[in-house]
Amino acid sequence: MKTKVAIIGSGNIGTDLMIKILRLSESLEMSVMVGIDPASDGLARAKRMGVAICASGVDGLLEMEEWKDIKIVFDATSAKAHIYNWDKIKPFTDKKMIDLTPAAVGPYLVPPVNFTEHSDVPNVNMVTCGGQATIPIVAAVNRIAKVHYGEIVASIASKSAGPGTRANIDEFTETTSLAIEKVGGAEKGKAIIVLNPAEPPLVMRDTVFTLSEDGDREAIRASIKDMVAEVQKYVPGYELHQEVQFDDIPASDPVFIEGLGLRHGLKTSVLLKVEGAGHYLPAYAGNLDIMTSAARATAERIINQ
């Protein structure tokens, strides 16, 4: 029997997640799509696809007959809205929440990196699109050579950044930077997001730089490729854009890292491309695809563990 789930947020991310669950999941069943705009395309699509809808937010969801059977709630709203939503749902101890906003009320979770540490937590946070794409790479380097500094640059098509993304730019950089440290294992993390206005829109590109202790380069390269293969299990469009690059930072010419001071070691540069599956939005919206795919993978692991 499939596990019933609800999605709060009928925008781009929530709608794409709904379609992924309906089309791909063998263990999750869409029960209710929740929004606050009765005229939203997400609610209209849910209704056409046979999913119960609610246009009065989390408060309306709690009053629905379907609520008692729902076990997992995805929040695809905003950082601010998540605080309110979680306060309402927290008393229901038989429910789990998967947070796709940058609110980070619960611990950060990146499925191939730290799922086992947080599999029983009632509220887990999916970091950000940039975090889901890049933190696995930082962690892959860190398991071979201790990472002092991890920096990521996430470049996404401007057209794939909806109002929710734009309203949470500050939270994006703060949340991703912290997760590079807490999940990726870096002593210091930094995140940058670029909204690329190019036409036609370009697919998501991510650049990851790490400065680590010196280590076996072939082992680091193999660790990265293994991690890419793990992510590809739930995001088929995730791939290395070119071969991993290495540079020595000698002790005689160290670099200054704010908060850490002078550091030397091995610089590893990784270029990624994330192409979406095109379930709801165009393939260039890989930033949304990796978030919804990671959330679906997390829910499936929770119920199948």
Positions marked active-site: 129
Pairing of β 245-249 and β 188-196? unpaired
Pairing of strands 123-125, 238-240: unpaired
Contacts of 89 (CB under 8 A, 6+ apart): 58, 62, 73, 95, 97
- In angstroms, the CA 258 to CA 232 distance is 34
Helix (H, G, I), strand (E, B) or coil at 89: helix
Which amino acid is present at 55? A
Between CA 71 and CA 299 the distance in angstroms is 10
SS (H, E, C) 117-162: HCCCCCEEECCCHHHHHHHHHHHHHHCCCCEEEEEEEEEEEHHHCC
